[in-house]
């Protein structure tokens, strides 16, 4: 197992924790992962809700909450590698992006849209010469090609790495609902196609563009297979939810422990206009039956959202769930969301992933002992 190298940034263990909103991966989980040698990721979406009551939730509290969580994570993991996940679909994307650069995070992951425009809050110089690594999340080689082509043409550079997310991931998904219920390309296929596309940019810019692959990676065996197929690192979300350090309430984690079969994890139509994957519960059954929940919107946090037309506020539902109120919310989860049978420490998850990786490979046991 090789360290993940992103330009001048060396990540000792090639495991990236997926950013999980709202309030599921904050400074607690991110710092624990960073302290194990992976990349710990704070999810920026709706972060202000953890700092202010719903009525007062605002763009300002979001930004302040984000900065506070970054600083807390840095205190808890002073030598670790820390990043944030920022979604293009949120209205304060530009504010959050600037804060990530100003706070000198090591890396920023950008998903829920294609990052093909410079955020207005940063200058071209800050964007192009950013010390913070900028990594888009895509779900197809085509999206990678488009993103890299626009960057090469408009910014004279390409992203520092790319996250390839397959259809088994949790949260909002970059696939159409028909693709998710029918046959979709496997993560390994998308990794192969993306690497093929990236070759020309690696040649043009004379550097390696690491591929971080995620969606359905739960064991060290999964990690080994994905890296054997060419990924330089894996991104893991669901497996980290059932850890003590995960920032969500124990009731949220209990949804994972109580789910016991694949059918307990379902595809939903999110009010965001994208499909999502979540653990089925009473709240989701009520929504599926046509029930509407009262929506009180203190500010428009999501681009394109019209609160008068949606059956429920997704930000509120996800926040309620993370705080343990599953009567008024639900838990996002990847397709493996039913597999956990106990709560573990982040260290135990790392040990298990690394041991499983080496068990699957033909590395001699002495070499394994050295790494482990
Ligand atoms: C509870 C939960 C919340 C998530 N929230 C977000 C999010 O806010 N933004 C995002 O880009 N991805 C989100 N994701 C996706 C993860 O960052 C990660 O890429 C994905 O879950 C990886 O697949 P896995 O869960 O099968 O390991 C979420 C996933 C989960 C399980």
93-102 helix and 59-76 helix, angle to the nearest 10 degrees? 30
Instruction: Decide: 49 and 363 in contact? Cβ < 8 Å.
Output: no
What is the pLDDT at residue 184? 83
* Ligand 1 centre distance from Cα of residue 335 (Å): 11
**pLDDT tens column, 320-351:** 999 999 999 999 999 999 999 999 999 999 99
What is the pLDDT at residue 54? 60
What is the pLDDT at residue 180? 76
Q: Are strands 211-214 and 233-236 parallel, antiparallel or unpaired?
A: parallel
* Ligand 1 centre distance from Cα of residue 306 (Å): 24
* Ligand 1 centre distance from Cα of residue 170 (Å): 5
List 277's β-bridge partners, or say none.
171, 267
Q: What is the CB neighbour count within 10 angstroms for residue 290? A: 7
What is the pLDDT at residue 55? 59
* Ligand 1 centre distance from Cα of residue 173 (Å): 9
* 3-class DSSP assignment, residue 45: coil
The yes/no answer on whether domain 4-248+341-371 falls in CATH 1.25.40.10 is no
What is the pLDDT at residue 66? 96
For residue 19, give the ligand 1 atom closest to its CA. Answer: 17
* Ligand 1 centre distance from Cα of residue 35 (Å): 20
Which residues sit with their C-beta closer than 6 Å to ligand 1? 18-21, 24, 43, 45, 85, 87, 111-112, 165, 168-171, 214-217, 235-238, 241, 332-334, 336
For residue 41, give the ligand 1 atom closest to its CA. Answer: 17
pLDDT-flagged residues of the chain (< 70): 53-55, 181-182, 363-372
Substitution site in 15, 18, 246, 275 for ligand 1 pocket (most atoms within 8 Å of beta carbon)? 18
What is the pLDDT at residue 41? 98
Q: Which of 166, 223, 159 is nearest to 192 (CA)?
A: 166
Using the Cα atoms of residue 166, residue 26, residue 97 and residue 49 in order, give the sign of their dihedral. positive
List, by residue range, all CATH 3.20.20.70 domains of the chain. 4-248+341-371
Tallying the residues shown for the chain, one arrives at 372
The token duo for 327 is 């009567």
What is the pLDDT at residue 308? 84
For residue 24, give the ligand 1 atom closest to its CA. Answer: 1
CA distance 18 to 166: 13
CA distance 326 to 241: 16
For residue 43, give the ligand 1 atom closest to its CA. Answer: 8
User: Whose CA is closest to atom 3 on ligand 1?
Assistant: 20
Instruction: Decide: 161 and 133 in contact? Cβ < 8 Å.
Output: yes
Residues 6+ apart with CB under 8 A from 294: none
* Ligand 1 centre distance from Cα of residue 252 (Å): 15
Q: What is the enclosing helix (H) or strand (E) of 289?
A: none
CA distance 153 to 33: 36
What is the pLDDT at residue 271? 81
The token duo for 371 is 């790494």
What is the pLDDT at residue 372? 44
The pTM assigned to this predicted structure is 0.95
Instruction: Decide: 31 and 80 in contact? Cβ < 8 Å.
Output: yes
Instruction: Give the single-character DSSP code of 291.
Output: -
Q: Which of 170, 168, 165, 33 is nearest to 107 (CA)?
A: 33
Q: Which of 33, 58, 12, 17 is nearest to 299 (CA)?
A: 58
């Amino acid at each position: 197992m090789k360290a993940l190298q992103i330009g001048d940034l060396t990540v000792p263990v090639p495991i990236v924790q997926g950013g999980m909103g709202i309030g599921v991966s904050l400074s607690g989980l991110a710092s624990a992962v960073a302290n194990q040698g992976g990349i710990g990721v704070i999810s920026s979406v709706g972060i202000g809700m953890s700092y202010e009551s719903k009525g007062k939730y605002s763009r300002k509290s979001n930004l302040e909450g984000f900065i506070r969580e970054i600083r807390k994570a840095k205190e808890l993991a002073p030598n670790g590698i820390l990043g944030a996940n920022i979604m293009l679909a949120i209205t304060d994307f530009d504010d959050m992006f600037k804060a990530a650069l100003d706070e000198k995070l090591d890396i920023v992951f950008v998903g829920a849209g294609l990052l093909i425009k410079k955020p207005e809050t940063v200058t071209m110089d800050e964007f192009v010469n950013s010390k913070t690594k900028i990594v888009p999340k895509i779900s197809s080689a085509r999206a990678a090609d488009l993103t890299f082509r626009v960057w090469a043409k408009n910014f004279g550079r390409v992203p520092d790495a790319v996250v390839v997310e397959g259809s088994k991931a949790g949260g909002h998904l970059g696939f159409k609902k028909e693709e998710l219920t029918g046959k979709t390309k496997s993560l390994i296929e998308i990794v192969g196609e993306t690497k093929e596309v990236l070759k020309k940019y690696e040649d043009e810019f004379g550097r390696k563009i690491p591929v971080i692959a995620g969606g359905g990676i739960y064991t060290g065996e999964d990690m080994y297979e994905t890296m054997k197929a060419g990924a330089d690192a894996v991104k893991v979300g669901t497996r980290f939810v059932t850890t003590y350090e995960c920032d969500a309430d124990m009731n949220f984690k209990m949804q994972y422990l109580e789910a016991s079969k694949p059918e307990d994890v379902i595809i939903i139509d999110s009010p965001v206009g994208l499909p999502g994957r979540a653990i089925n519960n009473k709240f989701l059954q009520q929504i599926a039956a046509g029930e509407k929940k009262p929506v009180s919107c203190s500010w428009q946090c999501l681009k394109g959202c019209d609160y008068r037309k949606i059956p429920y506020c997704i930000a509120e539902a996800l926040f309620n769930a993370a705080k343990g109120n599953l009567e008024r919310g639900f838990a996002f989860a990847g397709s493996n969301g039913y597999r956990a049978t106990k709560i573990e420490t982040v260290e135990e998850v790392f040990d298990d992933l690394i041991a499983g990786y080496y068990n699957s490979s033909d590395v001699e046991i002495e070499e394994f002992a050295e790494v482990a």
